[in-house]
Chain A
Amino acid sequence: MSQDTHEAPLTTTAERLAVVGSVGAAPSGEWVIVTRGIKREYDMGGEVVRALRGLDLAVRRNEYVAIMGPSGSGKSTLMNIIGCLDTPNDGEYWLNGQLVSTMKDDELARVRNKEIGFVFQTFNLLPRATALHNVELPLVYAGVSASERKERAMDALEKVQLGSRVHHRPNELSGGQRQRVAIARALVNRPSILLADEPTGNLDSQTSEEIMKVFESLASSGQTVIMVTHEPDIAAHARRVVVLRDGQIASDERREQFTEKLGVSIGH
């Protein structure tokens, strides 16, 4: 497998505890994500739902992490917080050396634009825009000039083998192609992390494998990838699998440990 060519570092439980322990201090540059005791509660019509109950997580640059858990485990909430779409009620979230958990809306928008590349289950492409325009969008909000935007968007689309489909609209593309457009869009602004939410949830198994190969090669080339999924065989593509339960980390293991325990075989 391609991980032979590039062995990304893995975070051990001890390292994680060490780095998340030093509250208030900015983590050193190798840590792209550090959360310290983050809590998120929702008021659902008088009833308080505690989605995250003091979660500690640390991710090194270049890691490829899957976040798993049954529904209600808090993985969507964690994804929203990691993706800077939402902020915790309590605790610290450091992204790429910046304390995100206290940021205001506009700063969060800037961080999402610069640091995060989203890939969604339902692709979330603008239906009326061409593939090229969809990929250009993050650059529009980054204030990049039109000519540079086009060049970089073309580049990103070529990297996902869609150079010949740039003027197609989403409804003229297959599911796998749409997800590749979304990946190109996620990467076009060179984010610190690629954040994928059930990226294969709407794809058949063969297309899912194609997308996983794209992720694999991105991870091998040094891109930090965080993938939220509830499918164990998809999670097994990552090098590290974090399992959530009741708003806390239930397990945090290397892929090998994870697959062994579950007895999941990864198809070659």
Chain B
Amino acid sequence: MPIFEAVRLALATIRVQKLKSFFTLAGVCIGVMFLITVVSIIEGMGRYMKEDLVGKLIAVNSFELRRRPNINFGDSDPAIWEEYRRRPRLFQSDLFPVVEALPEGTRWAQESESSVSAQTRYARPRSTTAFGIDGDWFQIKKLGVTDGREFTAQELTQGENVVIIGPDLVDRAFPGVDPIGREIRVGGVPYRVIGITESRGSAFGISFDNFLIAPWRSPIRKQLNPNPQMIDAVIIQAPNQPAITESQERVRAVMRTRHKLRPGVKDDFSMETSASALEFWNKIEGYLLIAGVALPAIGLVVGAIVIMNIMLVAVAERTHEIGIRNALGAKRRDILAQFLVESATLSTVGAMLGIAMGIGLAQAIAAVTPLPASVAPWSIIVGVAVGMGVGIISGVYPASQASKLDPVVALRQE
């Protein structure tokens, strides 16, 4: 019997026995629903990590030379932290030799960062993040200035008292007034606001827009590090992905020489890429997926047992029908296929309902909680495959029972 025929038959059976089919499908449906929901949320978190969180902090094709990694999820080994603490700081004097060593076409910027208090005449002091920068910082970070303008080369080299602020500071420090041209004080020193950046968004409910940026050479650097010659990072952006490694090797050689490291001694600085920052996430994402898939799997096992039971009942109820089909020329494999396809179809319909409900649930969770959700196309395919698989596995025993019936006995059964 052609598969199509068997599927049609199975769908007709579902239509005729709606309530019974619903209860049959419920297990698989709920199992797949949670599967899709959990996978969507993990996928959403992953995408958030990659595109929004790390992607915003570390620019594309770039790496950041720092004393220690800036982005850290959970590497809480005290020995590691102790080692980080003993590392030498980076100094502005490191910048020139590093930049000198870079291949053609490589961009660079420097950055120092600290939490500061900023004050205006229009609001009480606001705590914010101050960046002291130099080089192609805005280009590498792809951060546009939507109001006002960027720093001029002269402002950067002369270290003039000018700042560009993030959107959050507009409302918080300058309520009701246009900030451009107005004064903002950091550590008692006045700066003139010359621009406002576009929004960097937020992750897990934390805004990335509460900051101000000043030229590193301005007095701001006294607020950022204990020694005004210290810097936090040199950001290097290669023209393409393969060129990163080359640049990293050159920078490593320069820094090892400057820190007088003998061969075999570990680096006492870090060169962080978005990939290295994501290492930890990639590690826990796997565990989350296993846990997230294992729990709904229990639901699927229950669903499979229910389907097997219902199919055994169906075989018993339809013994006479099987006898008729035998008499009309159905082979054992026709009967086997009929019940297997019926079971698989039943379960797949359940899985498809579960996928729809799971997508709905994931969206609902994303809407009412800070958890993000992103429905992965592969999870839909897996959902359908899981449904079909559960149906086939739970249909094997009942279907083989059906196919082994003696036609004479089956026909006699009413």
Say yes or no: A126-B321 contact (C-beta < 8 A), given A80-B408, A141-B1, A141-B334. yes
A window 165-217: CB within 8 A of B: 185, 189
Q: Is there contact, CB below 8 Å, between B411 and A138?
A: no
- Beyond A85-B411, A124-B411, A128-B16, whether A110 also contacts B328 by CB under 8 A is no
Q: Once the chains bind, are A114 and B329 in contact (CB under 8 Å)?
A: yes
- Are B332's CB and A109's CB within 8 A? yes
Tally A-B pairs: CB < 8 A: 62
CB of A105 closer than 8 Å to a CB of B: yes
Q: Using Cβ atoms and an 8 Å threshold, which residues of chain A touch B1?
A: 140-141
B313-348 contact mask (Cβ, 8 Å, vs A): 1 or 0 = 000000011011111111111100000000000000
**What is the minimal beta-carbon distance from B307 to any residue of chain A, in angstroms?**
20
- The answer to whether B408 and A112 have CB atoms under 8 Å apart is no
- A 133-166 binary contact with B (CB < 8 Å = 1; else 0): 0000110111100000000000000000000000
Q: Which residues of chain A are near B2, meaning CB under 8 Å?
A: 140, 143
CA distance A97 to B27 in the complex (A): 53
Cβ–Cβ < 8 Å partners of B330 in chain A = 109, 141
A142: chain B residues at CB < 8 Å are 329
Q: Is B5 an interface residue (CB 8 A)?
A: yes
User: Which of A86, A110, A125, A126 is in CB contact (< 8 Å) with B329?
Assistant: A110
Q: Contact string, A58-74, partner B, CB cutoff 8 A, digits 1/0?
A: 00000000000000000
Name the residue in A106, A118, A122, A137 with the highest tally of chain B Cβ atoms < 10 Å from its Cβ: A137
**How many Å from the CB of B406 to the closest CB on chain A?**
8
Cα distance A80–B412 in the bound complex, in angstroms = 11
* Min C-beta distance of A10 to chain B, whole Å: 28
Q: B407 contacts the other chain (Cβ, under 8 Å)?
A: yes
Contact of A85 among B5, B13, B327 (CB under 8 A): B327
- B12 CB–A CB distance under 8 Å: yes
Question: Is A105 a contact partner of B332 (Cβ separation < 8 A)?
Answer: yes
Question: In the complex, which residues of chain B have a beta carbon less than 8 angstroms from the beta carbon of A113?
Answer: 328-329
A83 at the interface (CB under 8 A from B): yes
Residues from chain A with a CB closer than 8 A to the CB of B327 are: 83, 85, 112, 118, 124
The answer to whether A140 and B5 touch (CB under 8 A), given A113-B328, A124-B327, is: yes
Q: In B1-16, which residues have CB < 8 Å from any A CB?
A: 1-2, 5, 12-13, 16
Q: Are B16 and A109 in contact (CB under 8 A)?
A: no
Q: How far is the CB of A187 from chain B (nearest CB, A)?
A: 12
Q: Given contacts A85-B407, A85-B411, are A137 and B12 in contact (CB under 8 A)?
A: no
Q: What residues of A have a CB within 8 angstroms of the CB of B326 in the complex?
A: 85, 109, 112
Closest to A195 in B: B327
| Closest B residue to A111 using CB positions | B329
- Complex partner residue of A138 from B12, B329, B333, CB under 8 angstroms: B329
CA distance A106 to B330 in the complex (A): 8
User: Which among B5, B16, B327, B407 has the greatest number of chain A C-beta atoms within 10 A?
Assistant: B327
Give the residues in chain B near A138, CB-CB below 8 Å.
Answer: 328-329
Bound state CA distance, A125 and B332, in angstroms? Answer: 20
Central interface residue in B332, B334, B407, by most chain A CB within 10 Å:
B407
Q: Is the pair A85, B329 in contact by a Cβ cutoff of 8 Å?
A: no
Q: How far is the CB of A77 from chain B (nearest CB, A)?
A: 9
Give the shortest distance, in Å, between A125 (CB) and chain B (any CB).
Answer: 8
A86 smallest CB distance to B (angstroms): 5
Chain B residues within 8 Å of A124, by CB: 320, 323-324, 327, 411
Which residue of chain B lies nearest to A122 when distances are taken between CB atoms in the complex? B414
Establish whether residues A86 and B408, one from each chain, have CB atoms under 8 Å apart when the complex forms: yes
Given A126-B321, A140-B5, decide whether A85 and B331 contact each other with a Cβ distance below 8 A.
no
Given the complex, which residues of B lie within 8 Å of A140, measured CB to CB? Answer: 1-2, 5
When distances are taken between beta carbons in the complex, the residues of chain A under 8 Å from B328 are 112-113, 118, 137-138, 141, 185
* Chain A window 83-120, contacts with chain B (Cβ cutoff 8 Å), 1 for yes, 0 for no: 10110000000000000000001100110111000101
A128 to B314, CA, bound (A): 14
Closest B residue, CB atoms, query A189: B329
When C-beta atoms are compared, the residue in chain A nearest to B12 turns out to be A128
CB distance from A249 to the nearest CB of B (A): 22
Question: Closest chain B residue to A117 by CB distance?
Answer: B328
Smallest beta-carbon distance B6→chain A, Å: 10
Q: Determine if B408 and A106 form an interchain contact, defined as CB atoms under 8 angstroms apart.
A: no
- Nearest-neighbor residue (CB-CB) of B6 within chain A: A140
Find chain B residues with CB under 8 A from A85 CB. Answer: 326-327, 407-408, 411
Contacts of A120 in B (CB 8 A): 411
Nearest residue (CB) in B for A141 is: B329
Min C-beta distance of B329 to chain A, whole Å: 2
Which chain B residues border A128 with CB–CB below 8 Å? 12-13, 16
Tell me if A112 and B411 are in contact (CB < 8 A). no
Nearest-neighbour CB distance to chain B for A221, whole angstroms, equals: 22
Given contacts A141-B331, A141-B334, 8 further A-B contacts (CB under 8 A): A85-B411, A86-B407, A105-B331, A106-B333, A109-B326, A109-B330, A124-B411, A126-B321
* 22 A/B residue pairs, CB under 8 Å, sorted by A: A85-B407, A85-B411, A106-B331, A106-B332, A109-B330, A109-B331, A109-B332, A110-B329, A110-B331, A112-B327, A114-B329, A118-B327, A124-B320, A125-B324, A128-B13, A137-B325, A137-B328, A140-B1, A140-B2, A140-B5, A141-B328, A141-B334
Across the A-B interface, the 6 shortest Cβ-Cβ residue pairs: A113-B329, A141-B329, A109-B331, A85-B407, A138-B328, A106-B331
